[in-house]
Structure 1
Amino acid sequence: MTVPEQLRLVIVDDHVVMRAGIAALLAAEPTIDIVGEAADGQAAIELVERLAPDVALLDLRMPVLDGVSATRAITGRTATRVLILTTYDTDADIERAVEAGAIGYLLKDTSREQLVDAVHAAARGQTVLAPRVAERLVARIRRPAPVALTPREVDVLRGVADGLSNPEIGRRLVIGEATVKTHLLRIFAKLDVADRTHAVVVAMDRGLLPGL
C-alpha cells in the first residue's frame, strides 16, 4: 500500500483550545503533517524560517505581532504559503491579509473537509476564499468607484445649480464660455449623465455639492 505524500503544516493561533481543536481536526488526515505550532506572529515567523513548512495556517488577531504582519514577513522571506483562518470577515481585514501575501482566507466555521481541501489547495499555490469572503470581494469590485470633481468643476456646477447660463457662469468665474462647456462635458462624463439638470441632481445625491 502506497503511503500518501504529506505536506508540512504549522498552526498559529494564540488561543490554546482553538489551536488544539484545529490540530485535532487535521491530525487524522494522512496527507497533512503538523510539524509545529505557535501562539503569536513573531513565533510564527521564527517557526516557519526554522521548519520551512509548505503551509502556515494563521489567525489574524494575535499578541506580539499580528497575523497580517506575520504574513508579510513569511511571504517576503520564505516560500511557505500563508492561509488565514479567523473569525473576522470585514473588508479591511480581508484586504490587509491579501495585500500582505496571504494565498487564502477562511473563517473558523469552515468544515473539516473544507479546511483539508483548502490546505492542499494553498500548498499547490491556489487561492482559497471562504464563500462569504469571496462575496465581499466581488461586491467591492463591482461597487462603483467614487467620483471626484475638481474645485473648478464644482464651481461650474454650482453656477448651473444657481440657474446661470454658460456665459453667466463664465463671467462669474472669469473664464471663457468654451472653457465652461469643456468643464461641463467632463462633469457629464464623470457622472454618466447627458444634461445639466441631471448633473446637478446626481452631484447633490452623491454629496459632491456641499451646502446644496
Structure 2
Amino acid sequence: MDLIRIVVADDHPLYREGVTRSLAESGRFSIVGEAASGPEAEALIARERPDVALLDISMPGGGIETLRRVMAAGQPPKIAMLTVSEEDSDVMQALKAGALGYILKGVGARELVGIVADLAEGRTYVAPSLAMKVLAAMNAPRAPKAATPLDDLTKREEDILRRVAEGKSNKEVARELDLQEKTVKHYMTAILQKLHARNRTEAALIAREGWPERKS
C-alpha cells in the first residue's frame, strides 16, 4: 500500500514535530516536508506535490492566504487547517477558499490519523464543536458583499487593528488582548495582506478612514 504523502506547516516546532511523529508512527503516512511559514509551505507543496497538506492559520504568511495561493496555482493537494481558532469567520473563509478540513489542535493523535486518511480520500471534516455553526452560517441569508477590505477582517484582527490605529505598539496590543506579542505580529501580517497595505502605518490610515467613529 502506498503511503499518503503529507506536508505539515506550523511555526511552533514542538507541536509540528508531535503531529509529524504521530502521523509517521501510524505507518500510513510519509512526511515529505515541514514548514514554519506560509511561503515555506507554498514552496514545499509546489516541489513535493503531497497528497495532503496541514496548514496552521496563524503562522507567518497566514494559513488562509497560503491556502488561497496554493489553490490558485492549480493541482492542489487536499488541504486542511490545523488551528486553535474557533472563530466562525476563520472557518468559513477556509472552507470557501478550498480547504477540505478544519481541525482543532486539541484533537488526539489517533483521531488525527483517521481524519487525515479520510481527507486523502477526498472526504471533508469540520471539528464537531464547529459543525453546527458552519451549517447555520451556510443556511443563513447571503450577506451583501463587503464594501471595503476592512469588512473581511476577523473579530480578532479588527480588535488588533483598532488598537494599532490608536497608535499602540504590538506589545501594548498584546497586553490589552492577553496575547503573546508574537501572535499579534502574525495577525498583523494577515491584516496587511487583506488590506493590501505596505506597512502598519498605512493599515492604520485605512482603519481611521474606514472607521471614522474612531478618529480623534
Q: Common fold, TM-score beyond 0.5?
A: yes
Q: How does 1:1-212 map to 2 (within 5 A)?
A: 4-63=1-60, 65-77=61-73, 78-143=75-140
In structure 2, the residue matched to 1:159 is none
TM-score by length of 1: 0.63
**Percent identity over the alignment?**
37
Compute the displacement of 1:75 (Å). 2.0
Compute the displacement of 1:144 (Å). 6.3
| Compared CA separation, residues 112 and 36, structure 1 to 2 (3 A) | same
**Conserved 8 A contact 1:91-1:136:** yes
Q: Which runs of 5 or more residues in structure 1 are unaligned?
A: 147-212
Tell me the secondary structure at the aligned position of residue 8 of structure 2.
strand
For residues 32 and 133 of structure 1, what CA distance do their matches in structure 2 show? 27
RMSD value, Cα: 1.8
Cα shift readout 1:20-66 (whole Å, capped 9, x = no counterpart) = 11112112011111111000011100000000000001100011x10
Compute the displacement of 1:122 (Å). 1.1
For residues 114 and 60 of structure 1, what CA distance do their matches in structure 2 show? 20
Tell me the secondary structure at the aligned position of residue 89 of structure 1.
coil
Task: Tell me the number of residue pairs that the alignment of Structure 1 and Structure 2 aligns.
Answer: 143
For residues 72 and 7 of structure 2, what CA distance do their matches in structure 1 show? 17
| Compared CA separation, residues 93 and 39, structure 1 to 2 (3 A) | same
Q: Which runs of 5 or more residues in structure 2 are unaligned?
A: 144-216
Structure 1 residue runs of 4 or more that deviate by more than 6 Å after TM superposition: none
**Conserved 8 A contact 1:75-1:82:** no
**Conserved 8 A contact 1:12-1:59:** yes
**Conserved 8 A contact 1:6-1:33:** yes
Tell me the secondary structure at the aligned position of residue 26 of structure 2.
coil
- Tell me which structure has the larger Cα radius of gyration: 1
